[in-house]
Structure 1
Amino acid sequence: MTAITAALNGGPVATGEAPDTLDPQVIDVVARVVDEARPAAAAGPSASTTAEQFVSGHYAHRAGKRDYRLFIPGVQTDQPRALILMLHGCTQNPDDFARGTRMNALAAQHNALVLYPAQARQANAQGCWNWFKHNHQGRGRGEPALLADLTRHIAEAHGVDPAHVYVAGLSAGGAMAAILATTHPDVFAAAGVHSGLPAGAAHDLSGALAAMQGQASSGVASAASSRVRMIVFHGDADATVHPSNGEKVAAAHGATAVRVDEETGQHGNRRCTRRVHRDAQGRTVTEQWRIHGAGHAWSGGDPAGSYADARGPDASAEMIRFFLQP
């Protein structure tokens, strides 16, 4: 999405709790750090309620404050089976992203919670997660710390098994999902990156623009690897985030693979090449989907949401299948 470039060129970016007004020329802001994370009370269903819910919440953390939306499946005998953290792209919001991905309807079928944090416009004027800033790429600080702690909080409040917590994102959200898979493998068991970039792809503005164009940026370290299982989607006609970034995400997270199985076929109304990277025990490490003819949009999504391509394979269904496989 072109808003990513606009955000990189002119959008203010904050390290943590942002002031009400930011200088549009400022790239890095040394923000005041509050004492400890102060989680708001987790929203949840009442004991007498059986219908699914889509509720709003707010989370305060030493790295900032964020609103969120939380999908809660109908009350069942068992505890929720999983929690999926969903990170929207630039200019999107949780409701738009939920609509475009159709993730809530799928989660209801699998008794899973879906958490959609909203990027604060004080932190990025275009609503992009700050994947390209060095101070939002490490463990224990910035947006990765905030998002990981929010996820832990929701999982604990709703009794989700920590072994079944996952993250997925689109574009800037996909890039942040790759970062979380690298910085917090103890929180996320698997990750989905759609039209995103690998962790470590850039550490500043010029590096971000180069990475989005598929160009190597001098002085930028190679993409970080992670032991977290990864599923990757990228359209080979993406003019916003170059398709080579999908290859780099898969390569970084498939570093331990010893065998790659590949097939090309029709999925939905598009042809796709699907590569499954397996380790020495035959377990899937990375699953990579290259969607032929697709641009910068969530594959198989609902066009009622922004940046959604109804023609492709259902990325949401494939992600849930990948996340919940034994």
Structure 2
Amino acid sequence: MIVSAGIAPLRTPLALERRFGNLAGSRAYRLYVPSGYEGQPVPLVVMLHGSSQTPRDFAIGTRMDTMAEEQGFLVAYPDQPRSANIVRSWNWFRPGDQQRDRGEPAILAGMTRRIMQDFAVDPARIYVSGLSSGGAAAAIMALTYPDLYAAVGIHSGLAGGSAKSVSSAFSAMRRGALIRPMRATRPLPTILFHGDRDRTVAPVNGDQAIAQARPAGDLHASISLGHAESGMAYTKTELTAPDGNQGTEQWLLHGADHAWAGGSQVGSYTDPKGPDASREMLRFFMSHAKDEGSNRY
């Protein structure tokens, strides 16, 4: 049995507080290691919190640690400090933070690779997800590092490149992007959740984000209506490539505002009444792995 970085087989889970830095800057992060980790290659999920949130708050609200313990994967929660943004928002609207090997994308990608060095991470099963500004940042990570991540989850976020300044960011949040968002040269499988009563990030942004992630070619569209156990209605739209590989999955949550669906009420910006976005994202993620030989997912 190989144990990475001197980590002995665990009998209890670990919540580690760490920091990563490179030429682009540094960020602290929280890393959850499940008790079942014994050095075997496991998936990694990178979770990007929303404005005014902390990694611990986001972990509690999404209950992702609980699911990591159940399913046996690592979860990283990068921290956006007030020194980088006064409201702790990821700077998804700044051109310098929308490019590969620059700014926040370079920091987050470097952090992901550092975790891969320190622990046994399955390189084919690395995923990134986020809420609000974190969702917009996750979309940017999918655009700038499609070679690193296998799939992306966007909750109440925006398409990558929807804004180029603070003023255009507020405009995009209210009405959708008025400029053409960045083009995905290699779209990643994407699952997206957005409330149709979102008063912080207009629902049209969800449409734009899923359009950005749309694979090329003819796709089969499947639309289904459903209700969460709590009663919240939703419309789920799936686009599937001709070879059967699922491209995107969009959940429109009826009556929902700006909150993580199905999250714990102990956390912030959660709506316990919705379908379980965390569990659905994980289902979607674990059905997609990179094929290094063919660059297909």
Instruction: Give the structure 2 partner of residue 142 of structure 1.
Output: 103
- Contact 2:150–2:188 (8 Å) recurs in 1: yes
1:32 aligns to what? none
Matched residue of 1:320: which SS?
A: helix
* TM superposition shift of 1:118: 0.3
Provide closer, same or farther for how the CA distance between residues 80 and 112 of structure 1 changes in structure 2, counting only shifts above 3 A.
farther
RMSD, matched Cα:
1.6
Cα distance 1:293–1:133, how it changes in 2: closer, same or farther (>3 A)? same
Residue 63 of structure 2 corresponds to which residue in structure 1? 102
Residues 258-273 of structure 1: pairs in structure 2 closer than 5 A: 258-268=219-229, 269-273=231-235
Q: Is the 8 A contact 1:80 1:113 kept in 2?
A: no
- Distance, in Å, in 2 between the alignment partners of 1:315 and 1:284 is 18
Contact 1:44 1:72 in 2 (8 A): no
Residue number in structure 2 paired with 1:293: 255
Equivalent position amino acid for 1:294 in 2: A
Q: Do the aligned residues in 1 keep the contact of 2:227 with 2:233 (CA within 8 Å)?
A: yes
Aligned partner (choices 86, 106, 121) of residue 47 of structure 2: 86
- Aligned twin of 1:221: 180
The answer as to whether partners of 1:273 and 1:290 remain within 8 angstroms in 2 is: yes
Secondary structure at 1:164 match in 2: strand
Matched, 1:154 2:115: yes
TM-score, length basis structure 2: 0.91
SS at match of 2:121: coil
1:176 to 137, 140, 153: 137
Q: Deviations over 1:59-108 (max 9, x none)?
A: 12211111110000114456142000000000000000000000011111
Aligned length: 282
Corresponding residue of 1:28: none
CA separation of 1:215 and 1:317: change in aligned 2, threshold 3 A = closer
Structure 2 gap segments, 5+ residues each: 289-297
Please state if 1:206 is matched with 2:172.
no
Shift in CA distance, 315/44, structure 1 to aligned 2, threshold 3 Å: farther
Question: How far apart in 2 are the matches of 1:205 and 1:56?
Answer: 31
Q: TM-score, normalised by structure 1?
A: 0.83
Instruction: Give 1:223 deviation, angstroms.
Output: 4.0
The 1:265–1:151 alpha-carbon spacing in structure 2 relative to 1, beyond 3 Å, is same
1:117 is aligned to 2:117: no
- What secondary structure, in the 3-state scheme, does the structure 2 residue paired with 1:161 have? strand
1:36-55 deviations in whole A, cap 9, x for unaligned?
xxxxxxx9784264111111
Partner residue, 1:253: 213
Q: Is the 8 A contact 1:80 1:112 kept in 2?
A: no
Q: 1:190 aligns with which of 127, 130, 151?
A: 151
The structure 1 segments of at least 4 consecutive aligned residues displaced by more than 6 Å after TM superposition are none
Query: In structure 2, what is the Cα distance between the partners aligned to 1:250 and 1:325?
Result: 18
State the distance in 2 between where 1:118 and 1:44 align. Answer: 23
Partner of 2:94: 133
